């Protein structure tokens, strides 16, 4: 890939609303991405290999648990810093951001929020430092958009729990040290369990042949009579609302992350179109190309303000599930459209790995599906404004 010359988009001077700490976090993350992600990511994506060596680096910049209190190893930052970090990391690659979303919002968050003090102390510092990599098992082969139907279950055996079932499409499962798994008890109530790598009967086969998120490892979680200690059940929340609460936090990070991918595509297309000459002029001088660029910068700017305001609401603990859902849906859709237009603006070069656009575009095809599909998020907004759920 070419040298990473990325400059961020700030058409409406949003930087003036950020604190010094926000800008510091953003710049430090961007520097790390330019140094440790941009030079290697294309090769790893082409080979469909997870860049394991980035784990320690992500931990060192505070990307595992940015908003988890420092006493548990987190960075103790606010929600806007968390968002800006995800923006910069996804600017590098959605798969790398995925690793951070899963570790921070889907593994550390439930342990912090629904776990007891012993569990927090046992797992959070190791997850924050990257000594442990975690994954989150909600989706099953027959229950994706409708996780409440899950069949993975456990029985109380007196001195332990006996877990059976399978999860599918699980980010980082093939490398995980622990998995936060959602399963039903004998009464059909959903609980979170912490399953450890070395528990007998637990396996994590890798999913191959992905055209998207190729630098992220995806797999299954298979539980064949796994004996889980009772101490590993998350005691402080049960029901479908428990995993859905984690998704609020992860979807919020994705809303910021998608802006990063969109900015990278826009920045690349703008630079390329000013240099590429056809019919004796830079193609940036043609009206049809300017239309694409003008729409891109407009959509990025709108998404930046939507997400910044959402960050303020998150900081005040006022952001609703429906508001977060709207930002995830809007921003990923916006990024995907920008990636497609930017790809066209680079002509044939747009399909190569010399530029990041095609990789972003293919990655975003997963991002628009995971953490709730685009259509499920439309239905969440629909339910919120009408009071009528249209899911079933």
Q: How far is the CB of 359 from ligand FAD (least distance, A)?
A: 14
φ, ψ dihedrals at 247, nearest 5°: -65, -35
Provide CB contacts within 8 A for 35, sequence distance 6+: none
391 binds ligand TGC (CB under 6 A): yes
Stretch that binds ligand FAD, among 70-78, 230-238, 286-294, 372-380 (CB under 6 A): 372-380
Task: Say which entry of ligand FAD, ligand TGC, none residue 248 contacts (CB below 5 to 8 A, set by partner kind).
Answer: ligand TGC
Q: How far is the CB of 166 from ligand FAD (least distance, A)?
A: 12
371 binds ligand TGC (CB under 6 A): yes
The pair of three-digit structure tokens given for residue 28, joined into one six-digit string: 């430090």
Q: Which of residues 126-185 bind ligand FAD (CB under 6 A)?
A: 135-139, 144-145, 169-171
257 binds ligand TGC (CB under 6 A): no
Stretch that binds ligand TGC, among 23-31, 122-130, 136-144, 310-318 (CB under 6 A): 136-144
Q: Which of residues 80-119 bind ligand FAD (CB under 6 A)?
A: 102
Cα–Cα distances in Å, from 97 out to 87, 250, 333?
A: 8, 10, 17
Binding ligand TGC (rule: CB under 6 A), the pick from 376, 378, 381, 382 is 376
Stretch that binds ligand TGC, among 23-31, 191-199, 237-245, 269-277 (CB under 6 A): 237-245
Specify whether the CB–CB gap between 339 and 364 falls below 8 A: yes
Residue with tokens 């190569």: 352
282 binds ligand FAD (CB under 6 A): no
The site string for ligand TGC over 14-53 (x = CB under 6 A, - otherwise) reads ----------------------------------------
Provide CB contacts within 8 A for 59, sequence distance 6+: 128, 129, 130
370 binds ligand TGC (CB under 6 A): yes
Reduced to 3 states (helix: H, G, I; strand: E, B; else coil), residue 135 is strand
φ, ψ dihedrals at 201, nearest 5°: 90, 0
Q: How far is the CB of 238 from ligand FAD (least distance, A)?
A: 17
Binders of ligand TGC: how many residues, by CB under 6 A?
25
CB closer to ligand FAD, 137 vs 311: 137
CB closer to ligand TGC, 116 vs 321: 321
Q: How far is the CB of 156 from ligand TGC (least distance, A)?
A: 22
Q: Single out the residue of 254, 249, 257 nearest to residue 88, CA to CA.
A: 257
371 a catalytic residue: yes
The pair of three-digit structure tokens given for residue 129, joined into one six-digit string: 């430092």
232 binds ligand FAD (CB under 6 A): no
The pair of three-digit structure tokens given for residue 125, joined into one six-digit string: 């510092």
φ, ψ dihedrals at 193, nearest 5°: -125, 145
One-character DSSP codes across 4-31: -------TT-GGGGS-HHHHHHHHHHHH
How many other C-beta atoms are found inside a 10 Å radius of the C-beta of residue 365?
A: 16
Q: How far is the CB of 96 from ligand TGC (least distance, A)?
A: 10
245 binds ligand TGC (CB under 6 A): yes
Burial of 237 (0-12, 13-18, 19+ CB in 10 A): middle
Specify whether the CB–CB gap between 149 and 142 falls below 8 A: yes
CB closer to ligand FAD, 169 vs 223: 169
In the chain, alpha helices (H): 20-32, 38-47, 54-60, 79-92, 94-101, 109-114, 117-128, 241-275, 287-315, 321-345, 357-367, 374-386
* Contact positions vs ligand TGC (CB under 6 A): 98, 101-102, 136, 138-139, 145, 147-148, 171, 239-241, 244-245, 247-248, 250, 321, 370-372, 376, 380, 391
Binding residues for ligand FAD, rule: CB under 6 A, are 102, 135-139, 144-145, 169-171, 213, 218, 366, 369-371, 373, 375-376, 391
Residues with a catalytic annotation lie at 371
């Amino acid at each position: 890939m070419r040298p990473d010359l990325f400059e961020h988009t700030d058409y409406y001077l949003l930087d003036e609303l950020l604190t010094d700490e926000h800008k510091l976090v953003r710049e430090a993350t961007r520097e790390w991405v330019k140094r440790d992600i941009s030079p290697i990511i294309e090769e790893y994506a082409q080979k469909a290999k997870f860049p394991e060596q980035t784990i320690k680096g992500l931990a060192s910049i505070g990307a595992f648990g940015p908003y988890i209190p420092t006493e548990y190893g987190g960075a103790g930052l606010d929600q806007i810093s968390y968002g800006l970090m995800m923006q910069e990391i996804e600017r590098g690659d959605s798969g790398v951001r995925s690793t951070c979303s899963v570790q921070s919002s889907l593994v550390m968050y439930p342990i912090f929020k629904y776990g007891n003090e012993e569990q927090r102390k046992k797992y959070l510092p190791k997850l924050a430092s990257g000594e442990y990599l975690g994954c989150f098992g909600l989706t099953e082969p027959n229950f994706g958009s409708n996780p409440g139907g899950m069949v993975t279950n456990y029985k109380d055996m007196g001195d332990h729990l006996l877990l059976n079932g399978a999860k599918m499409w699980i980010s980082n499962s093939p490398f995980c040290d622990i998995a936060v798994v959602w399963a039903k008890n004998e009464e059909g109530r959903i609980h979170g369990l912490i399953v450890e790598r070395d528990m007998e009967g637990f396996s994590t086969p890798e999913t191959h042949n992905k055209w998207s998120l190729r630098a992220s490892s995806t797999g299954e979680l298979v539980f064949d009579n796994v004996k889980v200690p009772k101490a590993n059940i998350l005691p402080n929340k049960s029901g479908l609302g428990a995993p859905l609460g984690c998704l609020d936090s992860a979807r919020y990070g994705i809303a910021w992350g998608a802006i990063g991918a969109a900015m990278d595509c826009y920045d690349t297309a703008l630079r390329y179109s000013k240099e590429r000459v056809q019919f004796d002029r830079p193609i940036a001088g043609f009206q049809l190309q300017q239309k694409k660029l003008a729409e891109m910068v407009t959509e990025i700017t709108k998404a930046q303000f939507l997400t910044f305001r959402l960050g303020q609401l998150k900081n005040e603990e006022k952001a609703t599930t429906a508001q977060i859902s709207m930002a995830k849906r809007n921003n990923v859709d916006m990024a995907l459209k920008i990636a497609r237009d930017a790809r066209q603006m680079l002509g044939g070069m747009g399909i190569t790995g010399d530029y990041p656009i095609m990789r972003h575009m293919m990655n975003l095809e997963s991002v628009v599906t995971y953490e709730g599909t685009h259509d499920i998020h439309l239905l969440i907004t629909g339910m919120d404004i009408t009071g009528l759920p249209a899911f079933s």
